[in-house]
Structure 1
Amino acid sequence: MSIMNETKSASFAVHDKQASLPRHHAVIFIGLLAAGLIAPFLLAPIFVMKVLCFALFACAFNLLLGFGGLLSFGHAAFFGSASYVSAHAAKVWGLTPELAILCGTLSALVLGVVIGALAIRRQGIYFAMVTLAFAQMVYFFSLQAGFTGGEDGIQAVPRGDLFGLLSLNSDLVLYFVVFAITAAGMLLIYRIIYSPFGQVLKAISMNEQRAVSLGYRVNRYKLTVFVLSATLAGLAGATKAIVFQLASLTDVHWSMSGEVVLMTLIGGVGTVFGPIVGAAVIVTMQNYLATFGAWVTIIQGVIFVFTVMLFREGIVGVISKALKKPF
């Protein structure tokens, strides 16, 4: 018991030491804030909003994989289901955009609890396969359910007025709303990572058996991080539905789960800012190489192989290793 208490005290001591925001992290956050404020005046707001939505999605996935040590092949289920619920709430129920996004996010939370409670009973590749199986169930439900519109999806979703006051029909106005949502989500993820809960997650991912021997309820931590990741992925999907006024089968397809894995690996698994870079790279490729059609997938595959072979820690991971500072 004394050893357990000492270990836990050490964990909290580490947290206290890291409680203050590292200077280089503060500089990066300020840089991201500045870039976010000027981006819609230099680039198409729709394009930047897509980057933001997928950056939040990738950061949510990285919370589960990079810090929880759990590889999910089914995160499209949360992203896509929230997209459908948000679109349906805005178009059919006539809810304001913030309530529609909230409904979509809550649906992802509930789905995360159900799937997570069953998936965490398995480890490794079995955990990944269970999440993929559930994601496929969500996909076929989305294909067959009446309210989803089948192969046509839910189109012409109204953006509405934020809090009934601020019209989001302007791309520029909507951009700053999406930017605020994404920033809040990323700050929450950052806070989770550098909290005592986050330190325990890292300990579990490094040596689960030792964490169990120290008295931590490992499955409870796994379920909590799974639900948090699912909820934030849902927030990204619900926001995307309002931005593009569309919810489709693409959002729940298994390839979407593959894309978020790709974004995280290219940016750097287990890094704070890596998924943002990875999302920006993939979305930019898809946007500017769209004229190549199906060749975009091949190009993505080549870049993935190139990254894995030469930058095994991802783009940000390599930079972090070179500068010997955590990013």
Structure 2
Amino acid sequence: MAANTHTLDLPAVGRPGAIGMPTHHKLIFLGFLALALVAPYVLYPVFLMKVLCFALFACAFNLLLGFGGLLSFGHAAYFGSASYVSAHAAKVWGLTPELSILTGTLAAAVLGLAIGSLAIRRQGIYFAMVTLAFAQMVFFFSVQAPFTGGEDGIQSVPRGHLFGLISMAPDRNLYFFVLAVVFAGLLIIYRIIHSPFGQVLKAIRDNEPRSVSLGYRVDRYKLAVFVLSAALAGLAGATKAIVFQLASLTDVYWTMSGEVVLMTLLGGMGTVFGPIVGAAIIVAMQNYLATFGAWVTVIQGVIFVISVLLFREGIIGVLSKWLKKPL
């Protein structure tokens, strides 16, 4: 009876077809890739790279919140710390862009492991507050640490040569590299979500006491998804530092954590493609409404309120319900 109970509660684990990608998901990924390959010839590549970096950041956060059920108010810590480490590695250590990004990602993963191992001991709002507290500690460290440059940040970060061969100075060269990094990150997140590990995460999110009663070591799963989310957020932050040739306090400030929550909720929490749409909308508003100055924040707030009222599951969440297909 116990063995059958696992199958009933976690329907996708260990069954044929649990791993295969649905046709409509394949078409969406192919459409996204085709659109992304054409986009730099129509739009400004640096703007597109910013969208890609924040799309990956939002998807990494959604992995933790939407599928792990853990609300973190401190994800800027991993995004920003990876940005600083990547920029320092490229400028001071002279590493190539791919090694700089990898170094930043590893730093974010280590930080995520340290913070996550303490934060997962609490639940709900207490977990969220613990993550926020640690993120503020990272922010104040970034203000005081000598290698971060304080309020000036790390500027004039060299883009370098990919594998020591291909110059990343031209925007389009760097764009296609960033696209490859982000697309690989999105595929990794998709694979995590649709793996047996991902199905257990959903079970923990929906009914943690039931998962414990089935014998799952819930804390280990929580810590694993926390570290994975931190590492992928770090990948986004490290890539952004190379793109803008800058790592600043903005990347580790609490408002960055708020932005990624907004992107995730706007696009659709717990959906695969929702955070991408949410990130694209928020970054586009920041870019094209910049002439309004401080009013951009107010406009964002109004749009967010309207979206919450009209699209309670997020834009993609509502679309998924209309189409009756998971997106």
TM-score computed with the length of structure 1 as normaliser:
0.98
Could you tell me which residue of structure 2 aligns to residue 257 of structure 1? 257
Deviation at 1:319, TM superposition (A): 0.2
Q: Distance in 2 between matches of 1:89 and 1:194?
A: 34
Could you tell me which residue of structure 1 aligns to residue 5 of structure 2? 7
Q: Distance in 1 between matches of 2:175 and 2:13?
A: 40
Q: Distance in 2 between matches of 1:126 and 1:180?
A: 37
Q: Distance in 1 between matches of 2:19 and 2:193?
A: 11
Deviation at 1:308, TM superposition (A): 1.0
Structure 2 counterpart of 1:167, one-letter code: S
Q: Secondary structure at the match of 2:204?
A: helix
Q: Distance in 2 between matches of 1:7 and 1:24?
A: 31
The equivalences for 1:110-121 within 5 A come to: 110-121=110-121
Could you tell me which residue of structure 1 aligns to residue 67 of structure 2? 67
Deviation at 1:77, TM superposition (A): 0.1
Contact 1:15 1:199 in 2 (8 A): no
Contact 1:15 1:196 in 2 (8 A): no
Q: Distance in 2 between matches of 1:92 and 1:19?
A: 43
Q: Distance in 2 between matches of 1:14 and 1:222?
A: 20
Q: Distance in 1 between matches of 2:85 and 2:160?
A: 16
> Which stretches in structure 2 are left out of the alignment for 5+ residues?
none
Q: Distance in 2 between matches of 1:168 and 1:98?
A: 11
The equivalences for 1:275-286 within 5 A come to: 275-286=275-286
Deviation at 1:8, TM superposition (A): 3.2
Contact 1:79 1:238 in 2 (8 A): yes
The equivalences for 1:126-275 within 5 A come to: 126-275=126-275
Q: Deviations over 1:88-126 (max 9, x none)?
A: 000011111111101100000000000000000000000
Q: Deviations over 1:44-77 (max 9, x none)?
A: 0000000000000000000000000000000000
Alignment pair present for 1:25 and 2:17: no
Q: Secondary structure at the match of 1:16?
A: coil
Q: Secondary structure at the match of 2:70?
A: coil
Structure 1 counterpart of 2:6, one-letter code: K
Could you tell me which residue of structure 1 aligns to residue 98 of structure 2? 98
Alignment pair present for 1:309 and 2:322: no
Structure 1 counterpart of 2:188, one-letter code: L
Structure 1 counterpart of 2:4, one-letter code: E
Q: Secondary structure at the match of 2:115?
A: helix
Structure 2 counterpart of 1:290, one-letter code: A
Q: Distance in 2 between matches of 1:15 and 1:269?
A: 25
Structure 1 counterpart of 2:143, one-letter code: L
Ranges of 4+ aligned residues in structure 1 off by more than 4 Å: 12-15
Contact 1:15 1:195 in 2 (8 A): no
Contact 2:60 2:230 in 1 (8 A): yes
TM-score computed with the length of structure 2 as normaliser:
0.98
Contact 1:267 1:276 in 2 (8 A): yes
Paired-residue identity, %: 76
Q: Secondary structure at the match of 1:154?
A: coil
Alignment pair present for 1:125 and 2:125: yes
Q: Distance in 2 between matches of 1:15 and 1:158?
A: 48
Q: Deviations over 1:269-296 (max 9, x none)?
A: 0000000000000000000001111100
> Which stretches in structure 1 are left out of the alignment for 5+ residues?
none
Contact 2:79 2:233 in 1 (8 A): yes
Deviation at 1:15, TM superposition (A): 4.7
Contact 1:82 1:105 in 2 (8 A): yes
Structure 2 counterpart of 1:136, one-letter code: Q
Q: Distance in 1 between matches of 2:298 and 2:137?
A: 27
Q: Distance in 2 between matches of 1:95 and 1:78?
A: 20
The verdict on how the C-alpha distance between 1:146 and 1:306 changes in structure 2, with shifts beyond 3 A counting, is same
